[in-house]
Amino acid sequence: MTPSRLRLVLPLVILTSACTRVVQGPVLATDPPITTILVEPLDTTTRHPVTIVDQAIIERSLYLFAGHAWEENDDVLVPTHRIQLFRQDGSTLTYWLGSLSNPPRFPCYSFCSGWWVAAANPDGSLRPGMRHILASSVQMFDVGTLLIPTNRGSQPNQRVQQTMCAPSIRLGQSIDECAPIAADAQR
């Protein structure tokens, strides 16, 4: 980076970091273990719930909800998904997921990439006072794993299988696996 660009970028970086107030987020204890993740889109006209039961995917995804690197939040949060973590003992932890570009706001309006996650109040409603930014490339891919199942560790609910099975490559299924689902859908 050239010195002139550095002079332009450095004040913005300092201003941005000074505005962020890091707080301890909700502690995600792993005992009792998480056995299922349910991802429910709020827009059910174009998206469908996804249930994840593969323990490798669940364990890889839990860091997205960990209590470190959360920040105080004064912005309006518009969630796109409700995420429920089901424990082995039957208890549930609820989180909300949204896009950094919604609602559009300064400085990047609709061009922001990444996601945020916020915890829920005891009644399950969104707790807007803090959020965890998920904007690194690794985090964005891991959020994508939760939203779009592409392997056998993800189990789209029946409605998703019926509507998305024709382009079987997207779900990682073979044509043979799609045939019974398509037959069920025609009944």
Q: Please state, in angstroms and rounded to a whole number, the distance separating the CA atoms of residues 98 and 2.
A: 35
* Structure confidence at residue 3 (pLDDT): 57
Q: What is the pLDDT of residues 47-56, one digit of tens each?
A: 788 999 989 9
In this structure, the number of other CB atoms found within 10 A of the CB of residue 149 comes to 23
Give me the long-range contacts of 108-113 (CB less than 8 A, separation at least 24). 113/140
Above 50 in pLDDT, residue 173?
A: no
pTM passes above 0.75: no
The alpha helices in the chain, defined as continuous H runs, are 3-19, 55-61, 137-147, 158-164, 175-186
pLDDT band at 7 (very low <50, low <70, confident <90, very high): low
Average pLDDT, the chain: 74
**Residue type at position 5:** R
Bridge partners of 132?
70, 117
Q: What is the pLDDT of residues 90-106, one digit of tens each?
A: 999 999 999 888 777 77
* Structure confidence at residue 178 (pLDDT): 36
